[in-house]
Structure 1
Amino acid sequence: MTKTPQLTVFAITVVGIGLTILIFFIREGVITSSIYKQGVKLYQDKNYKEAEAAFYQVIARHPSNDLARLLLGDTLLQQDRVEDAIATWQELTIRAPKNVDAHLRLGMALLKHNQLESAIASLETAKNLFQAQRNPQKAETVAQLLQEISQQQSLSSPTLNHD
């Protein structure tokens, strides 16, 4: 009978620790969600510098938040920080290789930055991911864009005519 109170105290301690950990994670989730929503609102209000800071906070608290990284890239691009946006999306495509939005945004940014080969590779990946996701409309849109890029490349590159 002397072991029963010890077991009860042990069980209460284990449950108490478990509840404390659960409350901590719930609280962190709520805080992170709040900061994320604030970042989205700041972005929508075109307050890109503050939105950037909010998205960095979300990523610091929740490093696997790919949506925050995606929006961070958008925010950087809106501030004409194309290279930083490209780096953010490149990192995201490495972390989440099936994130079609990251590949698409990366391809478009690389295109604006005149890195055609890399842009085409990212856009091809996006097209293939859209096809794999059974989204033929978006896959076709990207395919048309790739065709336009190809046509522009062939028009702008000089052809050598050897007789």
Structure 2
Amino acid sequence: MKRKIFLLVLLPLLSFGQANKLVRQALRLPNPQEQIELLDQALELDAKHLDALFYRGIAKYNLEDYDGAILDFTKIIFFEPDADSYYNRGNCKFILEDFEGALFDYEQAVKMDPDLIGAFFNLGNTKLELAKYEEAVKDFTKVIRAFPTDVKSYTQRALAYMELENYKLAFKDYASCILIKPDSESYYNRGVSLLQINYYKEAKTDFYKAINRNRNNTPAYFYLGVSQFLLGEYDASIKSWEVSVDKDNLDYDAHFGMAMAYYYTEDFEKAKTSFNKAKSILSVNSKTDGMNVFRDTYWYVNEKQMFTEMYGKLKNL
């Protein structure tokens, strides 16, 4: 009888040991799907194996199965809540644009582990999405204090300052980015914000610098064209947008920009062609027609008055 009792105690220990072995084997595999298969086996042996749940959640995240990953992290949080599980579940929710849910998870993560700096960065990004700009500034500042050369945090804090219309501090942060890392992206980001406050000449200079540092920075060509167009340099803007559409022929914003520039240079045939090209690209996946096809474009969102006027002229060509 004693022997039977001993065996009953021993069996779960063997199962737990086997589950651990399967988890270790899974972590050696580079393929997330293969990892999941082994972790499934581990969880069949021990449904509450938290490491198996955690790493399966990570594998599902890597396969873009965000809902599945959320379920695994939620199970861990139910059994034994920890900062890493809240953080990773928050990442899944952020990608799924459940920003309120992500906010809760990131706040729980930093509450449980105030040294989890990555969670503060993502918390700041979530607050940007929720228009909590002053709070976002505080979160990015915490990251910068921990990592004074983190360009991404300076950039994101600058975006928050831009939304708060605190341009002095925003451009101080952009200057820090360029000082730390004077690459194409740093100049591009500052150029976009300069464009936002109608500093077209200064924006143009930054876009040239961005392109000189990376000829494959396709968006920089588009925004260079925008700055040139708004400065009345129509021929130059056409050349910039020609590069944009050469790199991405489905760039409807560049096609519409060329349509306007051609109109101003009185090349009405090319203006009509570019306008129709932009409209045809947008119409493929749109259930609306007319001007509403353009409602999500750069021009409609950022230059609506000019867009409305030019749309009327171009559609009558």
The TM-score range, normalised by the shorter chain, is 0.5 to 0.7
TM-score when normalising by structure 2: 0.35
% same residue: 14
Q: Does 1:123 align with 2:170?
A: no
Give every structure 1 segment of 4 or more consecutive aligned residues whose post-TM-superposition deviation is greater than 6 Å.
none
Gaps of 5+ in 2: 1-50, 55-81, 203-317
Q: How does 1:1-163 map to 2 (within 5 A)?
A: 31-131=82-182, 136-142=183-189, 144-145=191-192, 148=195, 152=199
Distance 1:154 1:71 in 2: 33
Can you list the C-alpha shifts for 1:108-128, whole angstroms capped at 9, x where unaligned? 111121101100111111122
C-alpha spacing 1:43/1:153, structure 2 compared with 1 (3 Å): same
Distance 1:94 1:122 in 2: 13
Following TM superposition, by how much is the alpha carbon of 1:154 offset from its aligned partner in structure 2, in angstroms? 8.8
Following TM superposition, by how much is the alpha carbon of 1:149 offset from its aligned partner in structure 2, in angstroms? 6.8
How many residue pairs match? The answer is 123
Following TM superposition, by how much is the alpha carbon of 1:88 offset from its aligned partner in structure 2, in angstroms? 1.5
TM-score when normalising by structure 1: 0.64
Higher RCO, Cα 8 Å, sep 6+: 1
C-alpha spacing 1:146/1:35, structure 2 compared with 1 (3 Å): closer
CA RMSD of aligned residues (A): 2.7
One-letter amino acid matched to 2:147: A
One-letter amino acid matched to 1:100: V
Distance 2:148 2:138 in 1: 15
Q: Per the alignment, in what secondary structure is the counterpart of residue 63 of structure 1?
A: coil
Contact 1:103 1:122 in 2 (8 A): yes
